Chains A and B, each alone.
Chain A
Amino acid sequence: MLLTATLSLLLMQQAPSENVDWDAEFGVEEVERDPATGEIPVEPYEQNNENAGAKPFTGDDMAETFGGRDGIRQIAERFVEINFADPRIQGIFAGHDEVRLRRTIFEQFCYILNAGCDYTGRDMKSSHEGLGSRKADLNAIVENLQQAMREQDVPFAAQNRFLSKLAPMSRDVINR
């Protein structure tokens, strides 16, 4: 009964004409990337190292273990790359500015590992608001970070020490 009704309704439909500019129709604006940075401009916000969501380590040990700024950059970029490619969490990352995320994640890691960076990104709460992340998604992201750190030969105990700074952020990151 319902199937027949559905089918007849489907058949009653007119196909939309071929040459409709749907972006214009729905008022979608083209986003221009900043020619210098390659990033999509964001609404202004107050920049502060406290936005990184964790107090940095003291001393140089952790920064050295992570291969200095170069090592941290490789880990951060690989981490972002795996996240965008991971089918488990693709839906959360889709539509995000990967260029900007590479930079802010690097700054955050570099700042927390005390490798001499300032974090200029947004705070954890506002940057994760409305993403609909669940604990399972956070677990997937942790696994991806573990993979990125493993590929840079960061010892497991040091990986965990770094994760101990990130784990309490779950309060701001998990939405549901």
Chain B
Amino acid sequence: MTPVFNHFATCLMVAPLALLPMSLCAQEVLSDTQSIDQAGTFPEYNAKLLLTNAVSAVDGASGGGISNWATIAGRQETRGVGVQAHVTAVLLPDFFYQSHGVALGIADRIELSYARQNFDTQDVGAALGIGQGYMLNQDVFGAKVRLFGDVVYGNTMVPQVAVGAQYKRSLDGAVASAVGAAHDEGVDVTLSATKLLLSHSVLVNTTARLTKANQNGLLGFGSVSDDSYAIQFEGAVAYQFSRRFVLGTEFRTKPDNLGLGEGDWFDVFAAYAPSDNLTVTAAYADLGSIATFTGQRGAFLQAQVAF
């Protein structure tokens, strides 16, 4: 109804000025309604190429499993608003990590994301004296803006570049301060560049991240002795076997503000899109030492739906 109304309103305003016969306006109203009916049958479709919305990183942004990319979430392009939602589980020897979240991709330009991270300390909780199966929780609110470039198109040498910010709020400030963290909330700033090198079927991503986060923020931010931002790097390389299947590897450096031996992250992942709207990711992830418990290697599993 709205376009008809608009058109009719325009006619009402323009007709007396242009001395148009009102009947002509009425005729156009009719033809507009007809074209709207046709537009109604225009099929909704997935505007983005498969997998180019990437998967959901642990902090909720579109990217790899552990690294942030310059990609924009959701399956819509310049004229649409896309959305994706994910559930992730990481099974580690001494911990169980679970996260879920949603991300909006607006006009292939802006991404807004939210993720909730739940980190089950299992037996470690008892050993550290915070309680058997104590859960560390965190909310992550993210925003990302694509500055220029395109993952697939345009100059081969110009990647898609995006700048992002993530506000992280630990819900366990008491634990964070007990281990020596300076804050229970913090902001990460990221700058990412991503390109699919079609001639080699290889996707490359590099990200620089300014952060104070300890274990991604689950153990707070900064420390009493070292409360400064550090620049960290995230890299990913992936080979595209088909439109639906990608194999890749990721690397992410992390600061060790608390002196607990926090190490870098590494994974090897496979992402598969069984349908246009579903992506499943499985990875072998090496998350190093967490809260002095070393050798945290295990399976990373994610299901993501996107529209």
Instruction: Using CB atoms and an 8 Å cutoff, list the residues of chain A in contact with chain B.
Output: 2, 5-6, 9-10, 12-14, 87-88, 134-136, 138-140, 142-143, 146, 156-157, 160-161, 163-164, 167-168, 170-171, 174, 176
Q: In B129-160, which residues have CB < 8 Å from any A CB?
A: 150, 152-156
Q: Looking at the complex, which one of B4, B152, B243 makes contact with A167 (CB distance below 8 Å)? A: B152
Residue of A nearest to B42 (CB): A87
Residues of the B chain whose Cβ atoms lie less than 8 Å from the Cβ of A136: 47-48, 76-80
A139-B47, A164-B156 known; A12+B77 contact, CB < 8 A: no
The answer on a CB contact under 8 Å between A6 and B152 is no
Residues of the A chain whose Cβ atoms lie less than 8 Å from the Cβ of B154: 167-168, 170-171
Residues of the A chain whose Cβ atoms lie less than 8 Å from the Cβ of B225: none
Instruction: Using CB atoms and an 8 Å cutoff, list the residues of chain B in contact with chain A.
Output: 4-5, 8, 22-23, 25-27, 29-30, 42-43, 45, 47-49, 76-80, 108, 150, 152-156, 197-201, 240-243
B42 to chain A, nearest CB (A): 7
24 chain-A/chain-B pairs, Cβ below 8 angstroms:
A2-B8, A10-B29, A87-B42, A87-B43, A134-B78, A134-B79, A135-B150, A136-B48, A136-B76, A136-B77, A136-B80, A139-B48, A142-B49, A156-B241, A157-B201, A160-B198, A160-B199, A160-B201, A164-B198, A167-B156, A167-B198, A168-B153, A170-B154, A171-B155
The answer on a CB contact under 8 Å between A164 and B199 is yes
B202 to chain A, nearest CB (A): 9
The answer on a CB contact under 8 Å between B30 and A143 is no
Residue of A nearest to B5 (CB): A2
Residue of A nearest to B1 (CB): A3
A160 to chain B, nearest CB (A): 5
Residues of the B chain whose Cβ atoms lie less than 8 Å from the Cβ of A2: 5, 8
Give the complex CA separation of A136 and B121 in angstroms: 45
A66 to chain B, nearest CB (A): 15
A134-B77, A134-B78 known; A163+B198 contact, CB < 8 A: yes
Residues of the A chain whose Cβ atoms lie less than 8 Å from the Cβ of B4: 6
Residues of the A chain whose Cβ atoms lie less than 8 Å from the Cβ of B47: 135-136, 139
Other than the known A88-B43, A160-B198, A168-B153, what 11 A-B pairs have Cβ atoms closer than 8 Å? A9-B29, A10-B30, A13-B27, A14-B23, A134-B77, A135-B77, A156-B242, A160-B200, A164-B197, A168-B154, A171-B153
Give the complex CA separation of A83 and B217 in angstroms: 49
Residue of A nearest to B242 (CB): A156
* Residue from B23, B79, B156, B198 having most chain A Cβ neighbours under 10 A: B198
Give the complex CA separation of A87 and B39 in angstroms: 11
A149 to chain B, nearest CB (A): 11
* Residue from A9, A168, A174 having most chain B Cβ neighbours under 10 A: A9
Give the complex CA separation of A6 and B155 in angstroms: 52
Q: Looking at the complex, which one of B23, B155, B156 makes contact with A13 (CB distance below 8 Å)? A: B23
Residues of the B chain whose Cβ atoms lie less than 8 Å from the Cβ of A87: 42-43
The answer on a CB contact under 8 Å between A135 and B108 is yes
Q: Looking at the complex, which one of A12, A167, A171 makes contact with B23 (CB distance below 8 Å)? A: A12
* Residue from A142, A160, A176 having most chain B Cβ neighbours under 10 A: A160
Residues of the B chain whose Cβ atoms lie less than 8 Å from the Cβ of A135: 47, 77-78, 108, 150, 153
The answer on a CB contact under 8 Å between A170 and B153 is yes
Q: Looking at the complex, which one of B26, B43, B49 makes contact with A10 (CB distance below 8 Å)? A: B26
The answer on a CB contact under 8 Å between B155 and A12 is no
